[in-house]
Amino acid sequence: MTQQQIIEKFTKVKSQYESSQKTFKQELSEIYDNYVGKMEEVVNTPYDTKENIPKLRTEISYVKPFIFSGEPEIEIEGVGDEDKDISKILEKIVNYRLSQSIPNAYEKIESWVHQAVTFGTSIIKVIWKFETKEENGVKTPIKDEPDLEVPNIMDCYYNSLIPTVEGQEYMIFRSVLNVETVKENPAYDYEVNGKKNVKKLKPKKFLASDVSNSTVQTDAQLLANQSNVVEVYEMISKDRIITIAEGEETLVLRDTPNSYGFINAVKFIFEPNTIPNTFNGMGVGQNTLG
């Protein structure tokens, strides 16, 4: 496909997903406002110095440790009494490798759980990072390790009527990145007329928040002061990975086969939705606000 065809396809898919998620993301915005104390539904503490504490945040801090405390990160249980000793040994090995192989693994898993407890739905991406350093014309690997990413659920686009990640035709993930960071990424090698698109990348000016993504959670003044950044969208299917940058102009940065052979994301829901066969779950936020 040409660059224009890729952009048109991306725009069509993103628009369809935005329509199906509109009510859900409005709900998330309301929950977030409550979580950070922008709403009046608070309770007073019974202390001499009165402090207003959002009820939602209090409930989440109570519930989350029951799901994931981080001690240990992964717990292994044996089938019978004879498995107790080997289970403890395997548990130590797995958690050691996890902490050594994935930077800040505990914090990333906790973030995944925290988002699900709050909003009902959370996604974690399992990726592989490979970086090389070139000296005297020879490239030497300097990083070859797994990693985890937890995108803001407001920046995830998918078909809400398809209940599983495996069933999604595409999933789209949005990031806001510094222009120089994007230009330095060797994976962004899409060319037009023999020239890499990433070299033409120029920053985007955020004029207003967008209710379909996380800018709606950002202070208006902070949003207006953003400079030298672009929006980067990664559209993933079982077959391909397409990266689109929306800066001063919309550019394709990558269009490559998906070497994983699947969408490398895992969904976690806090509580199943009352409506079966839908992607999103229910969280403490929905339960608290009613």
What is the residue range of 283's domain?
3-70+102-289
Q: Dihedral through CA 209, CA 210, CA 215, CA 220, nearest 10?
A: 10
What pLDDT sits at residue 54?
Answer: 63
Backbone φ and ψ for 235, nearest 5 degrees, come out as: -105, 115
3-state secondary structure of 38: coil
What pLDDT sits at residue 146?
Answer: 82
Name the nearest CA neighbour of 240 among 211, 210, 264. Answer: 264
The token pair that represents 219 in the structure block: 């202070």
Instruction: Taking residues 166-184, report their average pLDDT.
Output: 94
Average pLDDT, the chain: 86
Tell me the DSSP string of 82-137. Answer: GGHHHHHHHHHHHHHHHHHHSTTHHHHHHHHHHHHHHHSEEEEEEEEEEEEEEETT
Count the domains in the chain.
Answer: 1
159 lies in a domain? yes
Q: Which residue has the tokens 């962004």?
A: 188
Q: Give the pLDDT confidence of 115-130 residue by residue, as tens digits.
A: 999 999 999 998 887 7
202 lies in a domain? yes
80 lies in a domain? no
244 lies in a domain? yes
14 lies in a domain? yes
133 lies in a domain? yes
Q: Give the pLDDT confidence of 226-278 residue by residue, as tens digits.
A: 778 999 999 999 999 999 999 999 999 999 999 889 999 999 999 998 888 89
130 lies in a domain? yes
What pLDDT sits at residue 75?
Answer: 82
3-state secondary structure of 267: strand
Q: Higher confidence at residue 151 or residue 99? A: 151
111 lies in a domain? yes
